Structure 1
Amino acid sequence: MHNKKSLATIFIFILLSCWVMYISLSADTRKLNNEVVAEAKMEEISEFDEVHYFRSTAKKPDFELTSQSLEIINQNLMKFIEPQGVLFQADRSLKYSAKRGNMNQKKQFLTLSGDVSLKDKLSDYKSEKLTYDGQKKLMHASGGINSEIIDEKTRDIIKISSEYMSSDLNSEIAVFTGDVKGQIQRRRRYEGGVKFQSELMAFNSPKSQISLDNYVEIRRNNYYLTAGRAEIFLENFNKKLKYYTLYDDVKLEERINLPSGKSQLRRAFAEKLEARQREGKVILTGAPRVEQGKDIIKGYQITLKENVELVEVDDAKSSFSIKRKKDD
């Protein structure tokens, strides 16, 4: 009798175990089937050749694309070859082209690679890779970047090459990093321009201001300048205000043409240099020192004028200027 009860208990235990295993396996099977179905849905692909694709939202143009080939995955992710098109934003239209790219329509995220070009009415960016987040209005680019930006207030043309670039279209600030080289061309060509070089550059469009940082070099007319950082205020070119300012270990070199027809090298050193373009002068402060021929000039503040041998010294123990009668 005892054995029968034991066998019955064992039998019931086995049945319960089998039932639990069955339920578990059934759940796993349903889960697997669901995953297979989901995977099948993820691989839903539509393919097109020689495409002209246009999309609008709320009766407003949103996205336009012409490409050699187009894949649309799950009616969202678009992959294209040789794309050319337009991204329509609330305040601007961005024209783009590349060798290949993709677009996540839900996230409004565009990725382009190979001979990339992205431009609007005030800027033109070229690079090897570029991403644009349409929701956040953020742009990132890398590889052989060549950019051309028009300052909306002054109409100055700013040409920049760098390794990386980030741009916030909301704040209208673009940042360039890695072996940055650039040039500012005035609207009136006879006014000349400025060449610059640094490791980092930021262009603030609303302020019409360029900021340079780390190993800064600037060439303007006859001046060759180096410093730790610098600022250029594009709107102040024709005003009695600072056009550009350099900070931290500032050095200036200038070749002065003398009346005799010879030239003389002038070097200047300071912690800060402020250039007033309209007045044609630079003001040196922060332990300034000028080496001109055999003369060494020191003072609290020193003012130089381009290609003029005269040196003005203010707030020194004795204020003086040097003007040679004979050339060295």
Structure 2
Amino acid sequence: MNIKISATSHPALEAQLAAAINNKTKPLGSLGRLEHLAVQIGLVQQTTQPALREPSIIVFAGDHGVVAEGISAFPQDVTWQMVENFLADGAAINVFARQNSIALHVVDAGVNHDFGTREKLLSMKVANGTRNFAKEPAMTVAQCQTAMKNGAELVAALSGNVLGFGEMGIGNTTAAAALMHKLTGVPVADCVGAGTGLSAEGIRHKQAVIEAAVALHANVEAPADVLATFGGFEIATMVGAMLAAAERRMVLLIDGFIVTSALLVAARMHPAILDYCVFSHQSDESGHARMLQALQVKPVLQLDLRLGEGTGAALVYPMLQAAVNFLNQMATFASAQVSEKSSD
């Protein structure tokens, strides 16, 4: 993919945004993270009066061949069953997206199921799931490139300026943990968690499977090759969508562990993408905190979530609205005729 992502750094604009925020009728810094979000969004949009338009969340679904190794507490059929739940408006992400007036799109990036033609389902199936990366690369380089291109095409069809990311795929915490280890160097034991509810024994088995796979593919180093070897079609499609969204100067709402693993790949390819990302929350999935630390970013919320689907992205969106609205609508000391703090 031929992508160009510009850093948002603009010292003069940042100074203008800071001055506008500091002149609001409040003590300096008293709106905390909302002030940082206001500055970030202003820099993304290159204006002192940012606006949020037509927010969307895309849920990417795909299956993983590595489930053959017994690394999930749930059978693979749950992937397509949950896609059906999304299409029937029955999942948590449906509730939260509807609550916040966020358009929701569901993408079949590589589910091991034939959905037929469905009005609400965007079919971008590369294959019926990846191969088992414990035995061979999850996908070919060509398949990975196709998935990333599909993600970019999805973004090209959107008209808004805020995009959240969600996922569904039994086995994808295993893929995400492998990506995390390869791209950060954090020990596998610190990357692996319970996923959909593994026991302690199950977690140890999952760790062993990843460690053996990492040894098998020891020579894989470049981010794109790591993605093709250990990733999923939903993760690769997400990477392409993230890169294209940042190129279009959209605000990216990053959900939990799996979505952040896709962002980790994207950031290794184009580091400037981090300027556009709001990390919605710190997942309760073991490893996510370390992943966020590796990216040197701070999540907005800490709610002990570990559901995926883009739920964290939907929940954080009102915080972005609050940040933009106070910047644009809150009175200044002068306009409200409120006395400012006297100098000592």
TM-score range, shorter chain: under 0.3
Bigger radius of gyration among the two: 1
TM-score for both structures, normalised by structure 2: 0.21
Give the structure with the higher percent helix: 2
Give the structure with the higher percent strand: 1
